[in-house]
Structure 1
């Protein structure tokens, strides 16, 4: 992954890695809502972390699966992308 992760890409990852369907436009509008409001639990977020690490050659901090909101997760992932660039 060469570019920052977007809310739209996160919505696609939520579907692919956790089986949670989220409308990307809604996710973009509600970045500060808890993942639980979208039906994503900690195991689902762990699946997203695994997907990013395994298929996008990223190494995320060990606490990445503890993020509570999409904004928090995107900020963490994208700060990692910038740091690794």
Structure 2
């Protein structure tokens, strides 16, 4: 079982599920950029959360996406779920 969710995991899942906006460099420093600045709307984030849930075997709260407006916040929230699921 995977023990952590990283920015590389998030980038991969974002690209697989919603692609990447041509004007956004996901390989740059994106941790504190808002998802909408990165070109991801609420529908893209729903797809992303669904992929995270399936891949990591966790259930994310519906409010998570509203409470995690940046990649850094989403990574922290996913890791908190993974820790709780492992306990």
TM over 0.5: yes
For 1:52 and 1:18, the matched residues in 2 are separated by: 13
> RMSD between aligned alpha carbons?
1.7
For 2:39 and 2:27, the matched residues in 1 are separated by: 16
Q: What's the CA shift string for 1:35-78, capped at 9, x where partnerless?
A: 11111111111001111122332111121222210011011100
1:25 to 27, 35, 47: 27
Query: How many residues align structurally?
Result: 83
Higher helix content, 1 or 2:
1
Larger Rg: 2
1:1-85 matches, within 5 Å, as 2-20=2-20, 23-26=25-28, 29-66=29-66, 67-85=68-86
Q: Which runs of 4+ in 1 moved over 3 A?
A: 21-25
TM-score normalized with structure 2 length = 0.82
